[in-house]
Amino acid sequence: MDLIDQLLAGSIDRVTAWPDGRLETSAPVPVVVLPGSFNPLHEGHLSLARVAEEIAGGPVAFELSVVNVDKPPLGAADVRHRLAQFRGRARVELTRAPTFLQKSRLLPGATFVVGADTAERLVAARYYDNDERRMIAALGEMAGQGCGFLVAVRIDATGRVVSLADVALPPQFKTLFTAIPESRFRLDLSSSEIRQRGERGTTTTPDP
């Protein structure tokens, strides 16, 4: 059983995949992490990683959780297919961490690169069973782990442009979040939209 199979079986929680295909379980925690499903990996992800590297002053690792909050776990073939997209391109952290609280425990000190729509969910009590105390506790633990967030502008499902300035951040946690200026990066398409267009026989290059 290789490391990916062990991860899927739940016997380990994190595997680092290097660009040359090597896998290991004890790599140093990356400084900057860009999580996603990467189905597929597209130029928007790569452009955002380049901008995040420029802002943070260090290389970005991508992160793919094999466990999801509201979807079935990924199978071995799916994980290997998505991982193959990064071969020769970038480091990937494979984890069993569907939430950012769990990601912060596995990757302490990391700065996570997210869209403003994700930042909204991070500070919304409805995503914590409508319990604001749970939300505050989760943010406090993430801060205590030394984690933070770089937040990119996104277009939501209604076509609204959402930036960090639109997110109602709890005052005590504002320093956890740093905006990526719209002039540096903006992504109007999601992986699912790109996948749907591909299935319809069209190709799309996202406007960064």
Residue 205 lies in a domain: no
This prediction's pTM:
0.90
Residue 112 lies in a domain: yes
Residue 204 lies in a domain: no
Question: Mean pLDDT over residues 49-62, rounded?
Answer: 96
Residue 109 lies in a domain: yes
pLDDT given for residue 207 in this prediction:
31
Residue 48 lies in a domain: yes
Question: Mean pLDDT over residues 64-87, rounded?
Answer: 96
User: What is the domain range of residue 173?
Assistant: 3-199
pLDDT given for residue 23 in this prediction:
98
Give me the DSSP letters along the chain.
--HHHHHHHTS-SEEEE-TTS-EES-PPPPSEEEE---TT--HHHHHHHHHHHHHHTSPEEEEEESS-SSSPPPPHHHHHHHHHTTTTT--EEEES--SHHHHHHHSTTPEEEEEHHHHHHHT-GGGGTT-HHHHHHHHHHHHHTT-EEEEEEEE-TTS-EE-GGGS---GGGGGGEEEPPTTT-EE---HHHHHHHHHTT-------
Give the residue from 124, 149, 151, 118 showing the smallest Cα distance to 136: 124
pLDDT given for residue 70 in this prediction:
85
pLDDT at 112 over 60: yes
Q: List pLDDT tens digits, range 154-189.
A: 987 788 899 999 999 999 999 999 999 999 998 776
Total structural domains in the chain? 1
Residue 75 lies in a domain: yes
Task: Kindly report the CATH number assigned to the domain that includes residue 24.
Answer: 3.40.50.620
Instruction: Reduce the secondary structure of 43-76 to three states and give it as a string.
Output: HHHHHHHHHHHHHHCCCEEEEEECCCCCCCCCCH
pLDDT at 79 over 90: yes
At residue 205 the predicted structure's pLDDT band, cuts being 50, 70 and 90, is: very low
pLDDT given for residue 53 in this prediction:
96
pLDDT given for residue 74 in this prediction:
97
Residue 86 lies in a domain: yes
Residue 103 lies in a domain: yes
